[in-house]
Amino acid sequence: MKEKNQIPDPFNFYKQCSTMAEDNWAKVLEKTIATEFFAETMGKQLEGYLNYIDILKKNTKTYFETLPLPTEQDIHRLAGQIVALENKIDYLEDGIDDLQQKLETVLTYLSELSQSHEKNNKQHRLKKMEAKGSD
Amino acid sequence: MMNQNYQDFMENFKKETEKNFQRLDRLSKLIHQMPEPQVGLTPKEVIWTKNKARLLHFIPVKEKLHPVPILMIYALINRAYILDLAPGNSMVEYLLDQGFDVYMLDWGTAGPEDKNNNLDNYVLDYVPRAIKKVLQFSKAKELTLTSYCMGGTLAALYMGVNPKAPVRNMVFLASPIDFEKAGLYTNWLNEKNFNIDKMVDVMGNIPAEAIDFGNKLLKPVTNFYSAYTSLWDRIWDQEFVDNWRVLNKWVNDGTPFPGEAFRQWVKEFYQRNKLVKGELLLRGKKVDLKNIKCPVLNLTGKTDHIVPENQSIALGKCIRSKVYEHVSVPSGHVSLVIGKHAKKITWPKISSWLIAN
């Protein structure tokens, strides 16, 4: 009887409703977004938006060209050229790295060669001296 | 009796109203007054740059215990700092602590001048140079490629055209390989509904907001509603609020997708699934996943809705690695690399697997 007369707490009531409804909303929405109709509608909306942006961009470009002021594309082209220049430097750096590596290999080989040559010379001299000594 | 109930109700109403105003006040402070959360705090140095990309070397905290360095390759969208989100919640920090030498290829933010960059550029010009730089810097002969999300696809592409790449191991984290099983994206991005050519021709680079909207739309209630109601509910839980803020910062801190790369990504992967069919060409070179012969660890999130597990599991059938292990983590796309499941399963698994291999 007491419960019957109790006035419900609106915050708690809203929270309970919201929690209970959340899963159901999720299920319904997930079902909706998985349909072919949704994908088709989204595609059409995107197409409409792109048409609008396209017209806006073309008009802005024409406006700037008429003034005459550099357009967005001009600035992008300039930035693109700077990036391309950086790329060339990067390739050069890469080439220098490769050359340095090859040079290091050659230097290591030469130093090994000279060491072995020196060793051979020493052995040769030692043999000569031994030969003289035995004579 | 009725009078008593009425008084209780009014008392309760007053209390709740006060509590909600306090909540609102705190929420407003969180949004407007508190400084942006700090992310990517692990000390690092930049050892190479190319255009917007940076190759980062994380300063070791221990003596190097493992000779093979790790190079992390990130996706072309969102920021790479998700792998080094915050102290105590960072995969990079964990690996450094385990004695690994860690590097990361961060693609940076593509500008409008980069709209002509395609995947060929990133895979054939950037990745090999980054690998070379890591090997030069670390004086190692081989490295481990660890890649997250789309970064894994890029790593697979690189290996697919470089059979003799100096790669000792590969670790994939939620990486899409088979695009026929791409969940809702398969439907949304098909040729009939989605005019990719018009989108790239008109927009150039694809704005970060568009990519973010697409990802959020996969789970609309969770992303547009529950994320905020859970913050409202747990606004007094400081740890929850801190984690929510850093993650929210990352989610909303996207980068534009370079136009031509996006065209290729949608056309050749989502619409035609050329990678697993063996039909993909990069600058005329065929990408053959059978060129991947090194040990591979493939980690996926069981409830990942951005890259459903099936999309990644297909990797095992396409490669020729004798050592291949797939681990399904009870997590989503992001919680695979940060949070409690990552700390308990993902990070220790990567570390122990790398040591074993």
C-alpha distance from residue B145 to each of A4, B103, B170 (Å): 66, 10, 5
- Contact indicator for B265, B280 with CB cutoff of 8 Å: no
- Contact indicator for B270, B182 with CB cutoff of 8 Å: yes
d(CA A71, CA A61): 6
B193 contacts chain A (CB < 8 A): yes
Q: Is the pLDDT of residue A2 over 50?
A: no
Is B304 annotated in the active site?
A: yes
d(CA B60, CA B144): 17
Domains plus CATH for chain B?
A: 44-356 (3.40.50.1820)
Q: Which of B9, B20, B199 comes nearest A50 by C-beta?
A: B199
A79–B113: do the CB atoms touch at under 8 Å? yes
Chain A positions in Cβ-Cβ contact with residue B198 (cut-off 8 Å): 47, 50
> Is the ipTM of this structure higher than 0.95?
no
A53–B203: do the CB atoms touch at under 8 Å? yes
Mutate one of A4, A5, A32, A100 to test the B interface: name it (highest B CB count within 10 A): A5
> By CB neighbour count within 10 A (0-12 exposed, 13-18 middle, 19+ buried), where does A33 fall?
middle
**Count of A-B CB contacts under 8 Å:** 94
Strand, helix or coil for residue B63: coil
Chain B positions in Cβ-Cβ contact with residue A50 (cut-off 8 Å): 195, 198-199, 202-203
Query: Phi and psi for B237 in degrees, rounded to 5?
Result: -90, 100
Of B151, B161, B137, B177, which Cα lies nearest the Cα of B73? Answer: B151
* Number of neighbours of residue B279 by Cβ within 10 angstroms: 12
Chain B CA closest to residue A85: B51
Average pLDDT of A3-15? Answer: 65
- Residue B34's pLDDT is 80
Residue extents of the structural domains in chain A: 1-69, 72-135
d(CA A80, CA B111): 9
Is B333 annotated in the active site?
A: yes
Query: Phi and psi for A48 in degrees, rounded to 5?
Result: -60, -45
B245 membership: H or E segment, kind and range: helix B238-251
Interface of A with B (CB under 8 A): 2, 5-7, 9-11, 18, 22, 25-26, 29-30, 33-34, 36, 39-40, 42-43, 46-47, 50, 53-54, 57, 72, 76-77, 79-80, 82-83, 86-87, 90, 94, 97
Of B150, B182, B219, B153, which Cα lies nearest the Cα of B311? Answer: B182
Residues with Cβ within 8 Å of B217's Cβ and at least 6 positions away in sequence, in order, are A33, B223
A86–B20: do the CB atoms touch at under 8 Å? no
DSSP one-letter string for B136-197: HHHT-S-EEEEEETHHHHHHHHHHHH-TT--EEEEEEES----GGG-THHHHHTSTTT--HH
d(CA B114, CA B165): 27
d(CA B167, CA B295): 10
d(CA B111, CA A75): 11
| Predicted confidence pLDDT, tens digits, chain B (357 residues) | 567 777 877 887 888 888 888 888 888 888 777 888 888 889 999 999 999 999 999 999 888 789 999 999 999 988 999 999 989 899 999 999 999 999 999 999 999 999 999 999 999 999 999 999 999 999 999 999 999 999 999 999 999 999 999 999 999 999 999 998 888 888 899 988 899 999 999 999 999 999 999 989 988 888 888 888 888 888 888 888 888 888 888 988 999 999 999 999 999 999 999 999 999 999 999 999 999 999 999 999 999 989 999 999 999 999 999 999 999 999 999 999 998 899 999 999 999 999 998
- Residue A1's pLDDT is 44
DSSP letter (8 states) at residue B83: G
More confident call, B80 vs A1: B80
Q: Which of A10, A25, A40 comes nearest B193 by C-beta?
A: A40
